[in-house]
Amino acid sequence: MPDRETFQQLKNIGKDRRYSIRERRISHKPFHLQENNGIDRRSKERRSASHENIISRKPFQLPENNGKDRRLTIFIIALLLVIVAMILSVSAVVRSYGPYLGRVVDAETGIPLANVEVLIRFYTEYHLQLEEPTSQVAEAIETLTDKQGEFQVPVTWVYSFRFFHLWRPHALVTIFKPGYGTFPGHPGTTPQLNPQGAVPENKPVVIKMPRLKTREERWFNLNVAFLDLDVPSGKGERFKRLIEEEKVHLGWVPGRKGPDQKEW
């Protein structure tokens, strides 16, 4: 067993150790980077310069020194514009027709014919083939003659987008009245136009229609008018109704053949 003096020395040593630990805890400070550290200063300078560059850069700005890429971009845009222009140049888009002026009279008496159906159709032509161009109807409009037998159709703008189609230069006019020969298909109508039914624009024309005297003539005339029913969906409704009325007037029933053996 240690004597009193040894025990006192051990006790003092313990006090010194506790004091030393507490001293280290109090004097401990968190670790900080030194401001005069060269590596840290250069890193901060690079970050600052990069930040300023991002702020000062304008959105969608092409590199100033990249002239080759800029020229390539301009060339591609110009090429696309040329391609679009070429496609539109061979594609029917919009065209104006008219005006059309005319007067319809009885071929024998010269009396003006009122309430005569005037159907005007506009076509495009498909030219990407070796044979003759194929026509396709694009629009159709209707009007009626007045008491003086006159009709007038103002300038009409027709819209259609069809690849490799061009507008047909002339609209086709069909004039129909029950009991009279249909213009232009009936041989007794005048004038004889080329192409058939191509009434000139902005030039008055007098159209003469012969009166049909027999039932057989009226059946034949229906066949002629029926060939001119090439109209877009929902168009030419009055023209169609007049043909149906004429068929009923002649005693037509579904499945019956007319005198010329035409199946209706």
Rg of the chain over Cα atoms, rounded to whole angstroms, equals: 47
Mean pLDDT of the chain: 76
Instruction: Find tokens 């004597």 and name the residue.
Output: 3
Q: Which CATH superfamily is domain 93-249 in?
A: Carboxypeptidase-like, regulatory domain (2.60.40.1120)
- Hey, how many other C-beta atoms are within 10 angstroms of the C-beta on 167? 20
What was the pLDDT predicted at 166? 81
> Confidence class of residue 176 from pLDDT cuts 50, 70 and 90?
very high
* Angle, alpha carbons 118-123-126 (nearest 5°): 165
Cα torsion 133, 136, 141, 145: sign: positive
Per-domain residue ranges of the chain? 93-249
Residue 107's DSSP bridge partners are none
3-state secondary structure of 150: strand
What would the two tokens of residue 58 be? Answer: 């304008």
Over residues 21-56, the pLDDT tens digits come to 444 444 445 545 455 555 556 665 666 655 565 555
Task: List the strands of the sheet with 100-106, edge to edge.
Answer: 150-153, 100-106, 205-209
- Hey, how many other C-beta atoms are within 10 angstroms of the C-beta on 137? 17
What would the two tokens of residue 48 be? Answer: 């600052």
Could you give the percent of the chain with pLDDT greater than 90? 32
Do the beta carbons of residue 236 and residue 140 sit within 8 Å? Answer: yes
Do the beta carbons of residue 181 and residue 174 sit within 8 Å? Answer: no
The Cα–Cα gap between 45 and 57 comes to 18
Cα torsion 122, 193, 175, 102: sign: positive
Over residues 190-211, the pLDDT tens digits come to 998 877 788 999 999 999 999 9
Residues 19, 21, 27, 30: what is their CA dihedral angle, to the nearest 10 degrees?
Answer: -170
Candidates 156, 106, 185; CA nearest to 193 is 185
Q: Is the pLDDT of residue 238 over 90?
A: yes
Percentages helix, strand, coil for the chain, rounded to the nearest 5? Answer: 35, 25, 40
- Hey, how many other C-beta atoms are within 10 angstroms of the C-beta on 210? 18
Do the beta carbons of residue 205 and residue 101 sit within 8 Å? Answer: yes
What was the pLDDT predicted at 99? 95
Phi, psi (rounded to 5 degrees) for 241: -65, -40
What was the pLDDT predicted at 262? 47
The Cα–Cα gap between 229 and 186 comes to 15
Over residues 126-169, the pLDDT tens digits come to 766 666 767 788 899 999 999 999 999 999 998 877 666 788 88
**Whole-model pTM over 0.75:** no
